[in-house]
Amino acid sequence: MKLNILRYPDPRLHKVAKPVAVFDERLAKLVEDMAETMYDAPGIGLAATQVDVHEQVVIIDVTEDKTGLTAFINPEILWSSEDKQVYDEGCLSVPGIYDGVERPSQVKVRAFNVKGEPFEIDADGLLAVCIQHEMDHLKGKVFVEYLSPLKRNRIKTKLQKEERGIQREEALRASGRRY
Ligand code: QAP
Ligand code: CO
């Protein structure tokens, strides 16, 4: 089932996610629904926060043929490199906006898979960017918060204006269905 993605500046994007305590069918279904939502968008990463579920669940697939789906449950950064890279990031919660963000270029991450088995990965390049971006969502942080207040406010205004258009279309569609 496809889930609704929260759009910046929705205040729910700033909630802090809690660790997953039980690795059950409900978690497996959440991961499955998040994957459907991400691939449909299409995107390369999605955090549960973005679908209004405030638990430490992230999915990532940076492959072009959709063969690399990885779920990171309760992820932790064990190590990050001193050297940094700037990457033009985007976000499914901030549609149409891309801007440069500087982050450590390599990270070592520990997480659990959907069955509750622990694993570790060393990430660099796009995967390292994506993991850090998605883990920020779990802390309630959106990438635009790394940009200048001027840029952030312009983005906020643009998206709020778009949101009013979406709401108006939705109201029209709902009223159309009644006749
Ligand atoms: C995070 O982002 C990311 O604006 C994942 O109109 C992004 O999947 C990590 C998307 C870049 C590293 C580098 C964005 C889709 C997808 C949009 C995404 C849009 C449609 C973003
Ligand atoms: Co994002």
14 belongs to an annotated ligand binding site: no
The position carrying tokens 């001193």 is 82
Residue in 46, 54, 45, 47 with CA at minimum distance from that of residue 15: 54
Which residue's alpha carbon is nearest to atom 5 within ligand 1?
45
Superfamily of domain 11-147: Peptide deformylase (3.90.45.10)
pLDDT digits (tens, 9 = 90+) for 28-56: 999 999 999 999 999 999 999 999 999 99
Is 134 considered catalytic here? yes
| Residue/partner pairs of 82-88 with CB below 8 Å, 24 or more apart | 85/128, 85/129, 87/126, 87/129
pLDDT digits (tens, 9 = 90+) for 83-130: 999 999 999 999 999 999 999 999 999 999 999 999 999 999 999 999
Q: Tell me, what's the pLDDT at 177?
A: 78
- Which residues are CB-neighbours of 111 under 8 A, at least 6 positions away? 58, 72, 73, 74, 75, 76, 118, 119, 120
Q: Tell me, what's the pLDDT at 72?
A: 99
Which ligand is closest to the CA of 138, given by its number?
2
The position carrying tokens 């039980």 is 22
90 CA: nearest ligand 1 atom: 7
Q: Three-state SS for 167?
A: helix
- What are the sequence ranges of the domains in the chain? 11-147
Which ligand is closest to the CA of 143, given by its number?
2
Tell me what the pLDDT averaged over the chain comes to. 97
Cβ-contact 76, 111 below 8 angstroms: yes
Report the pocket of ligand 1 as residue ranges, CB < 6 Å. Answer: 41, 43-45, 87, 89-92, 95-97, 129-130, 133
Choose, from 32, 36, 76, 134, the residue flagged as catalytic: 134
Average pLDDT over residues 138-144: 98
Residue in 29, 28, 16, 18 with CA at minimum distance from that of residue 116: 28
Which residue's alpha carbon is nearest to atom 11 within ligand 1?
89
